[in-house]
Chains A and B, each alone.
Chain A
């Protein structure tokens, strides 16, 4: 199947809202979408989204840790997550079926342990 990428603009922002409504079990308030539009680069968007997730986990209080998979060659992603306190705990061979390299690191952030060496700015500024 063919996939195409398109920009999110004030004209079609409602489609994004609709997708989120349907896919995620949580809803985002309007300010979130305003920020989506104001933000230019995906990196900042990623920061906001990840912070949002971390905040939810913190408020909830019952989560022990968060983990994710990253392709071993994706250095910028690995750096990005490490800034938030994620560590590589494992590497899974042939995790991906259709891309090369097929291996993936497992990055994990422990939520119960006190956070040392974290980028304090990242956590405090965006709520």
Chain B
């Protein structure tokens, strides 16, 4: 075959091959390659070899793939096709930086290759190389000015770079080419207009945006957003009367959207409370069944008016039977006056309903059905639970249960009350009762699993979930596959509490992998959204992905992981038995021999169990891989398996911790915990400047934070202990620390902290810990400070007292057995339901106590019958 023929053949084969590749018809693709390679003249043809390699990669034969591609590249290093193919290979392995390099090389050899430019642009936007993306899109626009994606892509690049002028110019030019007749409605055109308008609003071009939306409104499909934009823009332009009309219309459409009321208030600018109320009353008249116009005024009225409106609101909802009533009113509980009004009203209802089925004894009227009293009691249980009066809360919920023992919400609440009070086993028990009453309800099933995890009952939780997970796989695996992160973060915390660090870390890494996948998954949308013109949604997606790890699930997993890695750094696990140390002094030779052989047997058993589990995992993995190979043609190799034993024995736990920390520093910098966790890591690494950075940032957020106080003292002491720091570092440290400590020595700094926070147990605890830390001889005084329970302490609740108790137990105050017991007894008096404070011998009594609780109700019931 002559060169010309080959070129023709090659380019047509190449584009047909690429088409096959994109459409995932790999077997056909291989046929094309075979066609060329079977000819002995072209058996070493670089490009064909490369293409063959690429296809093999898609069929899962990764090693062969790399072999062929590299061979092809070696044979023909000046071929843009080979570089392009190599780039595609790297991309499929998510090595995006490498892939970009390959594409750039390919473009050097063929600068106007559309396919390569397109692939490069995708990678650039994926990696958020916005400048590069804009350049590439410019080249694409020049090469294909008639393709609409070229214009859109270029405009989006400018938009993301915040050059709104350019973006708008491009979008307008493009819009003009669309030539949609004014009476026709075309969804894609509608989306284009709305995207254009969004860019105008982001550029603060309110007048333009308003005119624009009014010009094209007939051609926009999303009628609601048109009105919302009009309303917003009219407000921004100060045209309040017109804005008011728009918002009134919007409320007619939907009387439950709180933003519309905000908008309406901004438009009408009521000057008195009466005028403000009037707005809501008018809406209420037109929409008598709407909840929002009755609920919102409760936020800004007070005193008698509050009482009047709240009375009405409560009665309507109790009669109707509104389970989430408390939840809708919870946000008012920051205001003690409102809380006491609510309490007065509702306890009044309860007393009256019990006697005469009416809300108030001094009224007449139609009697309330028995359900009203039920919902009143349910509300009161939640009310007193929120106020921390758990005994009263339990009384009310038990009364409700006695009257209606089949209502799942009641058991759910009872479990919650026990959770708040710190008796997690009891909480799990009642949640189990709740789910048993309706085993088809996945919500209550999940809640039960969560409560079991809080009570460290991991196996039970898994079993509970398995009632809904896919058959054939273990619940843990399925939950991971389904990215069920609430379960995984709770499970990680449970393992952490149980000291099973390897298992906990596995869960944390699984969650981290989900975030990686979600980030990675956006890749296909770069082409898809452009094609479908869903541009607003596309930009929203990009912005979401930018801040993805801000999500609470990531924070929880990262925090658990960091805490564990810190612990593993402080107390690394050895490769031998993780078990107890043998106290051989107190045993006779015979007993010692017996104990050692028992240990050996246990170790052997544990090892066999590990091996069995490992074999089981491998088998399952093989099955899964087989299934995957059968189901899909494209696989990008299974990720490395997470093995708990390996995870908890990692060489450099602090480095692993830092990997989790970085997104927190980037995205959750406003949470003081981020910086305090960072400090703990850098403290152990001895990185003084980074320690300084962390405490400074934390200090800026809340200079009086108890944990921060401890970090500051540890930091200061570490600095003064390290006399051999480089001069410039010392200088910076002294200078900065001056701002915080202001010439005080550590003892007086600590004393001042204690004095300043005399009524806060949390702060007293931190101060006391540091007192002991700085001078161990002051142990007794320190413990006395930490265990203060006098009347004027503001935060005498289960959480803080548990923290103090744990600190006494974990050695923060050295060994202090008697004081521990004394403190536990004192706490028990204050919070008799909390498990942590119950003396160990009385465990039976505590279960009897809870049985008695139900037994009493049963007797009551029988008497009634």
Q: Do A and B bind each other?
A: yes
Nearest B residue (CB) for A10: B439
Contacts of A18 in B (CB 8 A): 405-406, 437
Q: Is A25 an interface residue (CB 8 A)?
A: yes
Q: Are A15 and B865 in contact (CB under 8 A)?
A: no
Given contacts A1-B369, A18-B406, A22-B405, contact A11 B439 (CB under 8 A): yes
Contacts of B436 in A (CB 8 A): 14
Given contacts A15-B406, A18-B405, contact A9 B440 (CB under 8 A): yes
Q: Is A113 an interface residue (CB 8 A)?
A: no
Q: Is B135 an interface residue (CB 8 A)?
A: no
CB distance from A28 to the nearest CB of B (A): 16
Q: Is A89 an interface residue (CB 8 A)?
A: no
Q: Is A19 an interface residue (CB 8 A)?
A: yes
Contacts of A21 in B (CB 8 A): 405
Q: Are B865 and A12 in contact (CB under 8 A)?
A: no
Interface string of B364-375 (1 = CB under 8 A from A): 000001010000
Q: Are B438 and A11 in contact (CB under 8 A)?
A: yes
- Taken together as a complex, chains A and B put the C-alpha atoms of A21 and B406 apart, in Å, by 11
Q: Are A12 and B405 in contact (CB under 8 A)?
A: no
Q: Is B701 an interface residue (CB 8 A)?
A: no
Nearest A residue (CB) for B433: A14
Q: Are A15 and B369 in contact (CB under 8 A)?
A: no
Q: Is B861 an interface residue (CB 8 A)?
A: yes
- Taken together as a complex, chains A and B put the C-alpha atoms of A25 and B405 apart, in Å, by 16
Q: Kindly identify, within residues 15 to 35 of chain A, every residue whose CB is under 8 Å from any CB belonging to chain B.
A: 15, 18-19, 21-22, 25
Q: Are B861 and A22 in contact (CB under 8 A)?
A: yes
Contacts of B405 in A (CB 8 A): 18-19, 21-22
- Taken together as a complex, chains A and B put the C-alpha atoms of A21 and B861 apart, in Å, by 11
Given contacts A1-B369, A1-B371, A19-B406, contact A12 B861 (CB under 8 A): no
A-B contact count (CB 8 A): 26
Contacts of A14 in B (CB 8 A): 436-437
- In-complex Cβ contact of B440 among A11, A19, A22, A25 (8 A): A11
Contacts of B440 in A (CB 8 A): 9, 11-12
- Taken together as a complex, chains A and B put the C-alpha atoms of A22 and B406 apart, in Å, by 10
Contacts of A22 in B (CB 8 A): 405, 861
CB distance from A14 to the nearest CB of B (A): 5
CB distance from B507 to the nearest CB of A (A): 30
Q: Kindly identify, within residues 843 to 865 of chain B, every residue whose CB is under 8 Å from any CB belonging to chain A.
A: 861, 865
Given contacts A22-B405, A22-B861, A25-B865, contact A15 B437 (CB under 8 A): yes
Nearest B residue (CB) for A12: B438
Contacts of B406 in A (CB 8 A): 15, 18-19
Q: Kindly identify, within residues 771 to 799 of chain B, every residue whose CB is under 8 Å from any CB belonging to chain A.
A: none
Q: Kindly identify, within residues 88 to 102 of chain A, every residue whose CB is under 8 Å from any CB belonging to chain B.
A: none
CB distance from A107 to the nearest CB of B (A): 25
Contacts of B438 in A (CB 8 A): 11-12, 15
Contacts of B439 in A (CB 8 A): 10-12
- Taken together as a complex, chains A and B put the C-alpha atoms of A15 and B404 apart, in Å, by 10
Contacts of B441 in A (CB 8 A): 11
CB distance from B295 to the nearest CB of A (A): 23
CB distance from A19 to the nearest CB of B (A): 6
- Taken together as a complex, chains A and B put the C-alpha atoms of A12 and B861 apart, in Å, by 23
Q: Kindly identify, within residues 52 to 107 of chain B, every residue whose CB is under 8 Å from any CB belonging to chain A.
A: none
Nearest A residue (CB) for B440: A11
CB distance from B721 to the nearest CB of A (A): 64
CB distance from A104 to the nearest CB of B (A): 24
Nearest A residue (CB) for B408: A15
- Taken together as a complex, chains A and B put the C-alpha atoms of A14 and B439 apart, in Å, by 9
Contacts of A15 in B (CB 8 A): 406, 437-438
Contacts of B437 in A (CB 8 A): 12, 14-15, 18
- Taken together as a complex, chains A and B put the C-alpha atoms of A11 and B408 apart, in Å, by 13
- Taken together as a complex, chains A and B put the C-alpha atoms of A104 and B436 apart, in Å, by 40
Contacts of A10 in B (CB 8 A): 439
Nearest B residue (CB) for A19: B406
CB distance from B453 to the nearest CB of A (A): 23
Interface string of B402-414 (1 = CB under 8 A from A): 0001100000000
- Taken together as a complex, chains A and B put the C-alpha atoms of A92 and B176 apart, in Å, by 85
- Taken together as a complex, chains A and B put the C-alpha atoms of A22 and B861 apart, in Å, by 8
- Taken together as a complex, chains A and B put the C-alpha atoms of A25 and B861 apart, in Å, by 11
Closest 10 CB pairs of A and B: A11-B440, A1-B369, A15-B406, A11-B439, A12-B438, A18-B405, A18-B406, A15-B437, A14-B437, A22-B405
Given pairs A11-B438, A14-B436, A18-B437, 8 additional interface contacts (CB within 8 A): A1-B369, A10-B439, A12-B437, A12-B438, A14-B437, A15-B438, A22-B405, A22-B861
26 A-B residue pairs with CB within 8 Å? A1-B369, A1-B371, A9-B440, A10-B439, A11-B438, A11-B439, A11-B440, A11-B441, A12-B437, A12-B438, A12-B439, A12-B440, A14-B436, A14-B437, A15-B406, A15-B437, A15-B438, A18-B405, A18-B406, A18-B437, A19-B405, A19-B406, A21-B405, A22-B405, A22-B861, A25-B865
